[in-house]
Amino acid sequence: MSARPRLLADPGALESLVPAWRDLAAATGVAYFGTPDWVLAWLAAFGDDPQHRGARVAVWDGPDGRLDAVVPLLATRQALHPRLPSGARCLTVLGAGAGAADHCGFAVAPERADDVRAWFGALAQRSTLWLPNLDPETGAAYIPLGARLVERTACPTMPADPEAIGSARFRKDLRYYARRLAAEGIRFRFVPPGAVDEKLFDALLGLHARRQETLGRATTFDAARKPFHLALIGRGAPGRGPCAMVAEGPDGPVGILYGFLWQGTFSYYQTGWDPAFARLSLGTVLVAETVAAVRAEGADVFDFLRGAEEYKYRFGAVDRHDTTWLAGRGLSGLLLGGRVRAKELQTRRAAGLGPVGAVGSVEG
């Protein structure tokens, strides 16, 4: 049993691993963002971009031919400043950037954990590692010694249980607004994995853009992301992949909440709804309807993903945290470290705090 992995880049070779890779991901508790569905959809959508051609998937095989570990990484450049487009060279988690992934992690059998840690340690001796949004158990467990913790991100979660939503008063308000929406002809329907299609996704993009324009906010969830999500949709199947809660009016959808089902967890990814229904709290009711629907689909966790927006806590969510790490030596490590310190300083100045100190590190 070799301690060193095979490095694969050919989509055909990776495709042949999918059944075993998916089983390993499920057995090791990897989030949807570390499954072959996510990684291979990312490669299909973005892999031809010149800056993304450094994709490599490290694969460890067991003595009996089974799949022991899969670690997808990307050699790329991390932006340092909008006026410095070239960026700093680094290795990062494949699918974490343009895919906007949370809970990044790797499918690693327990008996391979030491080999994967040692491999990351060897990488850090010759490359800069930028490892964003790592899951505590399936991602951060493999960071090399000396890595610097640069960010902790709140990712609120709650039980996928309508009875666990917020307070009794909040649930009463939800029922009131649901009745008001029904009186205006709005009906809710859940579209399970395997049934989402391009037409529905286009409707989501349009509603999302309208909502963001009303709020005066920019968004990266636009047509440029469509090929990636269509690839995800194409890989969906009952119980696994993209799904949506649709609020339907007489003339078509007026609200859509979109996310992913995987191994008993629903990950709430994006939403869009007609601002004309703000007075009836359509966005809030969409979340509540989704909680009930995914519970019926077998989910026991409703994951709001990153962001500490106040409304998530009104639903009764509590924080779990992803972490981002910087490791390695050389000029790129120094440049990225400088970017991190500049961001910390800016944040602390805005909060009226004192000088920046180290956030933390992994010590030997």
Q: Is 50 exceeded by the pLDDT of residue 364?
A: no
**Per-residue pLDDT averaged across 318-344, rounded?**
73
Q: Please provide residue 169's backbone torsions phi and psi, each rounded to the nearest 5 degrees.
A: -65, -40
- What's the chain's average pLDDT? 89
Parallel/antiparallel/unpaired status of strands 265-273 and 252-262: antiparallel
pLDDT in tens, 172-204: 999 999 999 999 999 999 999 999 999 999 999
- Calculate what percentage of the chain has a pLDDT beyond 90: 75
Token reading at 85: 């487009």
Q: Count Cβ atoms below 10 Å from residue 25 Cβ, excluding itself.
A: 27
Percent of the chain topping pLDDT 70:
86
Q: Tell me, what's the pLDDT at 358?
A: 41
- What is the predicted pLDDT for the residue at 76? 83
Which pLDDT score, from 0 to 100, does residue 3 have? 82
Band (pLDDT 50/70/90 cuts) for residue 359 is very low
CA atoms within 13 A on the CB side of 101: 31
For residues 289-307, one letter each, b for 16 or more C-beta atoms within 10 angstroms of the residue's C-beta and e for the rest, the string is: bbbbbbbebebeebbbbbe
Global pTM value: 0.90
Residue type, 264: G
pLDDT for residue 233: 98
Q: Read off the pLDDT band of 362 (50, 70, 90).
A: very low
Q: In this structure, are residues 147 and 361 in contact, taking their beta carbons and an 8 Å threshold?
A: yes
CA atoms within 13 A on the CB side of 62: 15
Largest CA distance in the chain: 65
For residue 363, what pLDDT is reported? 44
Region 78-85: what's the mean pLDDT? 61
Inter-residue contact 242 to 294 (CB < 8 Å): no
Q: Give the separation between CA 53 and CA 11, rounded to whole angstroms.
A: 12
Q: Which residues of 192-226 are buried (b: 16+ CB within 10 A; e: fewer)?
A: bbbebeeebbebbbebbeebbeeeeeeeebeeebe
Residue 321 amino acid letter = H
Main-chain dihedrals φ then ψ at residue 331, nearest 5 degrees: -60, -40
Whether residue 17 has pLDDT greater than 60: yes
For residues 347 and 99, the model is more confident at: 99
Q: Which helix (H) or strand (E) covers residue 242, if one does?
A: strand 241-249
Say if CB 271 and CB 247 are below 8 A apart.
Answer: no
* CA 273 to centroid of chain Cα atoms: 21
